[in-house]
Amino acid sequence: MLRCPPDTGAAAADSIQSGPVDGMIVNTQAAQGARHKQHVIDPEICIRCNTCEDTCPVDAVTHDDNNYVVDPEKCNFCLDCISPCPTGAIDNWRHVASRYSLADQFGWNELPAQERVETDEAEDNEAAGLIAEAHGGAGGKSIAPSSAAEPKINLYNRQRSAAATVAGNFRLTADEAENDIRHVILDFGDTTFPVLEGQSIGIIAPGVDATGAPHRIRLYSVASPRDGEKPNANNLALTVKREPNGVCSNYICNLKKGDKVQVTGPFGATFLMPNDPLANILMICTGTGSAPFRAFTERRRRTMRDAPGRMMLFFGARRPEELPYFGPLQKVPDGLLRKHFAYSRIPGEEKRYVQDVMRQNAGEVGIMLKNPHTHVYLCGLRDMEDGVEAAFSAICNDLDIDWAALRAGMRAAGRYHVETY
């Protein structure tokens, strides 16, 4: 699960205020030039009902005899037009090097394909810094899998957050377990909040810190697939561990059904699930790092149950009773998800970590690593990075494979991802 360092509530003065989601020019590498986010309407499914034009508070939507279009010079990304649209035609976005003009849009018979431009994980300064830190273990800049769906990012921020209602808050760990880990369901009602598996959202805890500054936004990976915790529901789930003195984690873990929560995001454009049925997905996690992998697994179960690609999970915890989703995981068939557990604090037993169990199953791991359709995802405590890296290196060495070269190639191809904290 993507989250910040311990959320004690101390906020750096230069990271409290995050800029509005304005779709304006964002600096990228010089070779890329300027990049813009643009709101567009799909002419193939638009029924020309005029609802969007009537709804827009800044008169950004207009039309001719052919198409309804969005003026990029006027659109402020308020999203007021999204929910009223009866077909979803207006819920489309493009990241472009140069904005499409009104004349361009009036001439479309279909939406243009997404350009190959570099996208940021977040345009919110608070979120961008946290994501960059979490992805640092990849050994270089990652890119999204080529088959991944186009993510929506930065729709809501601190100045204009989305309001969600708590639909459920359930303890995942046993009552006697030392760690209190929660499964929290947030419902967005009529508010559009699209997320993909692997993305994260920001939670704003109410109140201020000891200096009088607003609490910092904390990021949490989404633990449900894109169509909701319940299929076709406008909701999502989070996996949250209560941290000692953690302002936001305690706030979330104490939420009651019906409570309102201020949410930012969604964030993340690379740690995404491949939409390829041939893709093998090798997932390694500890604790709440299981959140995105629950989303991955449920997405494949719902949409590609018979996919030829394999899914394999290495999951570490201190004891079985402290492992989130332990009970439900036992019911997932091995044909869908091959599961390996590592426990480090069972009385009378040798400590076993995820890297140890990887080595014990080197044959299975090796077969996956040699397959060009395999994607590797590592999520959880940063302390496991070195051990997992050593395990991969040893497994590859036995196969006469240079792990460093293989990892670099996988990362460049959008097949190697790290998100640790």
Per-residue pLDDT at 123: 60
Which residues face 93 on adjacent strands? 39
Cα 316 to chain centroid distance, Å, stands at 21
Q: How many CB atoms lie within 10 A of CB 358?
A: 24
Taking residues 173-198, report their average pLDDT.
Answer: 94
Told to judge if 419 belongs to the known catalytic residues of this protein, a careful annotator would answer yes
pLDDT level of residue 398 (50, 70, 90 thresholds): very high
Told to judge if 343 belongs to the known catalytic residues of this protein, a careful annotator would answer no
Per-residue pLDDT at 165: 98
User: Using CA atoms, how far apart are residues 275 and 147, in angstroms rounded to an integer?
Assistant: 5
* Whether the predicted pLDDT of 336 surpasses 80: yes
Encode pLDDT of 281-329 as tens digits. 999 999 999 999 999 999 999 999 999 999 999 999 998 888 888 888 8
User: Using CA atoms, how far apart are residues 78 and 70, in angstroms rounded to an integer?
Assistant: 13
User: Using CA atoms, how far apart are residues 243 and 252, in angstroms rounded to an integer?
Assistant: 11
Out of 220, 325, 343, 377, pick the active-site residue. Answer: 220
pLDDT level of residue 79 (50, 70, 90 thresholds): confident
Taking residues 342-370, report their average pLDDT.
Answer: 95
Told to judge if 377 belongs to the known catalytic residues of this protein, a careful annotator would answer no
Domains of the chain, start order: 36-106 (3.30.70.20), 120-129+151-267 (2.40.30.10), 132-147+271-420 (3.40.50.80)
Out of 221, 224, 249, 290, pick the active-site residue. Answer: 221
Using left for φ > 0, alpha for ψ between -120 and 50, and beta otherwise, residue 125 falls in alpha
In terms of pLDDT, which residue wins out, 27 or 393? 393
SS3 label, residue 208: strand
Residues 6+ apart with CB under 8 A from 95: 35, 36, 37, 38, 114, 115, 117, 119
Which pair of structure tokens corresponds to residue 280? 């093998």
Encode pLDDT of 242-255 as tens digits. 999 999 999 999 99
Average pLDDT for the chain: 87
Using left for φ > 0, alpha for ψ between -120 and 50, and beta otherwise, residue 34 falls in beta
Give me the helix-helix angle, 385-398 and 403-412, nearest 10°: 110
Out of 379, 385, 389, 416, pick the active-site residue. Answer: 379
Residues 6+ apart with CB under 8 A from 40: 69, 70, 92, 93, 94, 100, 105, 111
In terms of pLDDT, which residue wins out, 48 or 16? 48
* Whether the predicted pLDDT of 32 surpasses 50: no
CA distances for 78 relative to 56, 60, 75, 82, 240, angstroms = 9, 11, 8, 9, 29
Range in 65-74, 81-90, 186-195, 261-270 the model is least confident about: 81-90
Q: Which of 40, 202, 5, 211 is nearest to 111 (CA)?
A: 40
Per-residue pLDDT at 223: 97
Taking residues 188-210, report their average pLDDT.
Answer: 95
Told to judge if 221 belongs to the known catalytic residues of this protein, a careful annotator would answer yes
Encode pLDDT of 97-129 as tens digits. 889 999 999 999 999 887 665 556 666 666 776
Q: Which of 320, 359, 321 is nearest to 343 (CA)?
A: 320
Residues above pLDDT 70, as percent of the chain = 87
Told to judge if 353 belongs to the known catalytic residues of this protein, a careful annotator would answer no
Q: Are 353 and 342 in contact (CB under 8 A)?
A: yes
pLDDT level of residue 77 (50, 70, 90 thresholds): confident
Residues above pLDDT 90, as percent of the chain = 66
User: Using CA atoms, how far apart are residues 409 and 81, in angstroms rounded to an integer?
Assistant: 42
Parallel, antiparallel, or unpaired for β 200-204 and 218-221?
A: antiparallel
CA distances for 315 relative to 143, 298, 306, 388, angstroms = 24, 16, 23, 12
Q: Are 395 and 366 in contact (CB under 8 A)?
A: yes
* Whether the predicted pLDDT of 37 surpasses 90: no
Q: Are 337 and 331 in contact (CB under 8 A)?
A: no
Cα 62 to chain centroid distance, Å, stands at 33
User: Using CA atoms, how far apart are residues 60 and 420, in angstroms rounded to an integer?
Assistant: 41
First to last CA, the chain: 8
* Whether the predicted pLDDT of 24 surpasses 80: no
HSE-CB of 202 using CA atoms within 13 angstroms? 33
